[in-house]
Amino acid sequence: MATYVLVHGGGHGGWCYRPVARLLREAGHEVHAPSLTGLADRAHLVGPHVDLDLHIEDVRALLHAEDLRDVVLVGHSYGGMVVTGAADRAADRVGKLVYLDAATPAAGESLVDVAGPIIESTRPFGEVVNGVELVLLPAPGAGAFYGVTDPETVAWMDDRLTGHPWKCFEQPLTLTDEAAFRAIPQFHVVCTSTIPTRGPELIAEARAEGRLWDIDTGHDLMLTEPRAVADVLLEIARA
């Protein structure tokens, strides 16, 4: 039995992994899909203190509180920033690291550094609420921004998406034990359309080592192609 920890991206919550989590559990595995502080079911906790470091601590604390070991740690989109930091700070608990169409930062980089044009384009449409600058604000049909086209799924997302503190996107990632982090096997599951935007060396190396999968779908691939994503995650656990 494998243990998966699935970390969501900006504006989302643990809810976005529901279809994938169901498939993984049906295959006999343990699955945790937490919502990060200030988002989804934890949106009431949003405040000036919410940043990338806090989200990294959310995941690190979960690994320790639940005594999880040899975890398959998965991050989607902004969640790539979070799982990189969490794997660095709890390397002894992470067996495999999976980037699900996610940011793959180096030490000292922020999400703005990694995905500048895309993430910067969201800022003009944000607003300050109770002293917190929020972006990715929910709006009818917002699921289309994430590559979701099914009307029922988009409507389901409309009821669950929440604004995301901009502070999380501009805070640089700090690595505390890069050697231990780099020793964790890393796998990449990307949308076919995003491959040209990714570092050619990273893609070439991952492909040559059999650690790259691409799925021809929208950015929220865990919602648009849950079976394909679950199958890849099951394959990675067996690797």
pLDDT in tens, the chain (239 residues): 999 999 999 999 999 999 999 999 999 999 999 999 999 999 999 999 999 999 999 999 999 999 999 999 999 999 999 999 999 999 999 999 999 999 999 999 999 999 988 899 999 999 999 999 999 999 999 999 999 999 999 999 999 999 999 999 999 999 999 999 999 999 999 999 989 988 899 999 999 999 999 999 999 999 999 999 999 999 999 99
Which residues contact residue 28 at a Cβ distance below 8 angstroms, ignoring those fewer than 6 apart?
A: 1
Query: Pick the catalytic residue: 77, 110, 121, 193?
Result: 77
**Secondary element (H or E) of residue 203:** helix 200-208
CATH code of the domain in which 96 resides:
3.40.50.1820
Catalytic site residue 77? yes
For residue 204, the enclosing domain spans 3-108+173-238
Residue 121 lies in a domain: no
Residue 227 lies in a domain: yes
Q: How many domains does the chain have?
A: 1
| 133/153 Cα distance (integer angstroms) | 27
Say which amino acid occupies 186: Q
Residue 90 lies in a domain: yes
Residue 56 lies in a domain: yes
